[in-house]
A and B are shown apart, each in its own frame.
Chain A
Amino acid sequence: MRWIWIDRFLEFRRGELARTVKQLSLAEDLFAHHFPDYPVMPATLLLEGLAQTGGILVGEVNDFREKVILAKITKARFQREALAGEAVVFETTVQYVRPEGACVAGRVLIDDVLIGEAEITFAHLDQSRSQQVFGDRNFVFSGELKTLLESVRPS
């Protein structure tokens, strides 16, 4: 399974706001098990979609030099489920970006109706330690996540 839970950026305002969309297709593997005859997107994966949207938003502030790691979800609340066939929009707004980490406020919408909210804190992995453990390569922002962003970022 590919671990990417956003399909496309709808809007990107540097250091401020990012909006992405995820189309929930019944063909996706997860719906075979979650649940048979009742295909619902797990709330944890909705949070992952928010975190990917917010992680790119705050990572881009430092031109992806920092390794941005999901560290804490202070609160999360969902009003209803997201079902196969629906398009989920993830909207994240920067609360702060500091040298040690960052925080975004996230909203999940379907058809412009709010179905969930969360506040997500990211840590910047300690640079000296991360270089020791992982080398120079930024394993967080690689491949598809950055390619997705290129589609909305002015060149």
Chain B
Amino acid sequence: MLTQEDIYRKVSNTLVEALNVDEEEIKPEATLQGDLGAESIDFLDIVFRLEREFGIKIPRGELFPESIFQGDPEMVQNGKVTDKGMAELRAKMPFADLSKFEKSRDLNQISDLFTVELITRYVQGKLANSNGTK
């Protein structure tokens, strides 16, 4: 069974390959888009590489949801995520640490949720659910 450290190391290697970044740039708190320069097509590449590396299946939209709030005014008002929106976010991304985001609820900061740590936590959850043996 892989330890959290093993998973983090493999996730880091995956991101180095997919995003062509230096290993030193990969830190747990590094954001995929802001710090590592990922673009939307890179998410597809990352999903493929994670599946291959860990032997898991990642359904479309599970790791990188495409539209969480779907323009629903009950979920976002004046650029801020409402209580209903936060509940939706928790439901769609149970693996995300929302404690920091909870304070600002700024819609523009949603992309900052996607960090190296988030991916590591997601993979850890997937492996635990499938009794990961790889």
Q: Which residues of A contact B (CB under 8 A)?
A: 71-72, 74-75, 95-96, 98-101, 103, 121, 123
Contacts and interface: CB of A to CB of B under 8 A. Distances in A.
Given A96-B48, A98-B60, A100-B60, A121 B41 contact: yes
Contacts of A123: 41, 44
Contacts of A75: 20
Contacts, number: 28
Nearest to B66: A100
B18 A74 contact: yes
Given A99-B60, A100-B60, A74 B20 contact: yes
B41 A101 contact: yes
Contacts of B42: 72
Interface of B: 17-18, 20, 41-42, 44-45, 47-48, 60
Where chain B touches its partner, the secondary structure class is helix
B45 A121 contact: yes
B32 to A, nearest CB: 15
A39 to B, nearest CB: 32
A96 to B, nearest CB: 5
Contacts of B45: 72, 74, 103, 121
Contact of B41 (A72, A95, A98): A72
Contacts of A96: 48
Given A74-B17, A74-B20, A100 B44 contact: yes
Contacts of A99: 60
Contacts of A103: 44-45, 48
Contacts of B18: 74
A143 B104 CA distance: 53
Given A74-B20, A103-B48, A121-B41, 4 more contacts: A72-B42, A98-B47, A100-B60, A103-B44
